[in-house]
Amino acid sequence: MSAPEARAVPRPRPGSRVGRFLSIGWTVVRYRLDEIALAVAPESVLVRLLRVVLIGRPRTAGADRLRRALEHLGPVFVKFGQILSTRRDLLPAEYADELAKLQDRVPPFDTAEAIARVERRGGKPVEALFATFEQTPLASASLAQVHAATLHSGEEVVVKIIRPNIQRVIAKDLALLYLIAAFLERVSHDARRLHLETLVADYERTIFDELNLLLEAANTATLRRNFTASDLLYVPRVYWEHSSEDVLVLERIHGVPISDVAGLEARGTDMRKLAERGVETFFTQVFEDNFFHADMHPGNIFVDVRDPADPSYIAVDCAIIGRLTEADQTYLAKNLAAFFDQDYGRVARLHAESGWIPATTDVAEFETVIRQLCEPIFERPLKDISFGHFLVALFRTARRFDMEVQPQLVLLQKTLLNIEGLGRQLYPDLDLWHTAKPFMERWMEERYGPLALARRLADQAPSLIDALPTLPDLLLTAAAKLNDLDRLGAEQRAALGEVTRALSERRRGARWRQAMGAVLAVAGCGLLWPFAEGASGGDGGVTALLGGVLALFGAFLVGRG
């Protein structure tokens, strides 16, 4: 089996981008998402325009309409809804419950197409590849669906199959996400601080990696190996001989879905132990293995309850894996330890040392603000403190210091929030801080305690002895070399700045045209909506003509950009 390779990303044609944008605008109108947008952004020009052109009241609840709209728009938007569904600390309960249906209830594609793809990749009829192959999917997600099967050797397996023609659909949506991110970064300081275009680029790499099932197979095998000797987590076996880029065959697992809280309680599961083990599993992946499952929504997590008093987790769908650099891992651990100890001065210094806040930041002032934020929180019992709410409050507070979102930490933050949300759903009195603090203290001692320092010195002793004779020369020439590096760095920054300014000027006009086109196209769809519903008035022809012209002209501007 060859090593997994990154596949080429299909780029949408301008015409297809225009058509997709019109489709999105029509979906916003069809499902009356203006009602939701009005609650979130009542001052938005686009929302106010929609309120003018749309008539009547929606017939169904907003949560249901949002879920159906995301399903209608396809995989990129379904993925977005999946992420939202795990953020119960930020969403009303009815929205979280409805969006949770996106985890594994996406309408399936035709089984005949699934079998054809399996046969194409396996080079044999499905009967020759499997002893049995279930026609009805076990689950259907945004990018793939899963069928149960049995190998001729008798092992129960699941067969994951990528949806047909999904790459081109994703490419169209990503092109529009880049447009939106570029426009927001142009008009919003907060958007620039969030590095929206960088986040879209990271998401592009992530979602196309998910389409290469050999990468998922490799991730699954690594995570399985990391927990071979542990009772915390079980990861299914990969059947490499039956797997390819768009077909993955895994051992079939049998467990209770993590979302079935009533079922877990009915089996007498130790819910406190299960919740605390979830936290321990997360920190083990992040700090001991530096290889963590970064898509831990409820559809991907099951529980082994063969011994209800000693439950453990089963993880599937290892397509998205996170890693940290050694420096970020260290700074993150030190920050968490400082927060646990309520040492706000150390938190402020660590943020400055790591570059997470600008070098010009007044560290003492930053410490004061962190203290004002944290002290009221820590006055409450730790079990009542939501780490999710804490991170959101910290992020909002740090805006005044131009604290930037660290793209390399986004997956980690999302995963930690997911873990806390799941843990509190299982055991509402979960004390994340109490569970995590001993782990962090032990990890810090192992990495930076006296014994760890002695081990590193012993490991590096031969290299240090070899380097001693050259030390005087290095000290004498270091200052001159540093000056040369500073000069070269300044010259490169100046040249890069000129290139960046030239590119920005060239793109500014195109982005503005696209943004205005977006507003006009959605407004045009809104004017057309009453006629699609069968409503018309005496001047209906003029209104419909105006709506059509606005929609087409807006789509033209989007495509031209």
Half-sphere exposure of 530 (CA within 13 A, CB side): 21
Label the pairing between strands 247-251 and 256-257. Answer: unpaired
What whole-number distance in Å separates Cα of residue 159 and Cα of residue 243? 9
DSSP-derived 3-state class of residue 437: helix
**What would you measure as the largest C-alpha separation in the chain, in angstroms?**
95
DSSP-derived 3-state class of residue 528: helix
CA angle, residues 159, 161, 164, in degrees to nearest 5: 160
What whole-number distance in Å separates Cα of residue 418 and Cα of residue 441? 23
- What letter represents residue 202's amino acid? D
Query: Which tokens belong to 412?
Result: 């980690």
Residues catalogued as catalytic = 295
What whole-number distance in Å separates Cα of residue 439 and Cα of residue 434? 9
Q: How many helices (H) and strands (E) does the chain have?
A: 23, 11
C-beta of residue 134 within 8 angstroms of C-beta of residue 222: no
- What letter represents residue 475's amino acid? L
Q: Which residues of 189-222 are buried (b: 16+ CB within 10 A; e: fewer)?
A: eebeebbbbeebbebbebbbbbbbbbbbbbbbee
- What letter represents residue 432's amino acid? L
- Residues sharing a CB contact under 8 Å with residue 450, sequence separation 6 or more, in sequence order: none
- Residues sharing a CB contact under 8 Å with residue 469, sequence separation 6 or more, in sequence order: none
Query: Which tokens belong to 14?
Result: 């301008």
What is the DSSP code string of 297-360? -GGGEEEE-SSTTS-EEEE-----EE---HHHHHHHHHHHHHHHTT-HHHHHHHHHHHTSS-TT
Secondary structure letter of residue 260 according to DSSP: -
C-beta of residue 394 within 8 angstroms of C-beta of residue 305: no
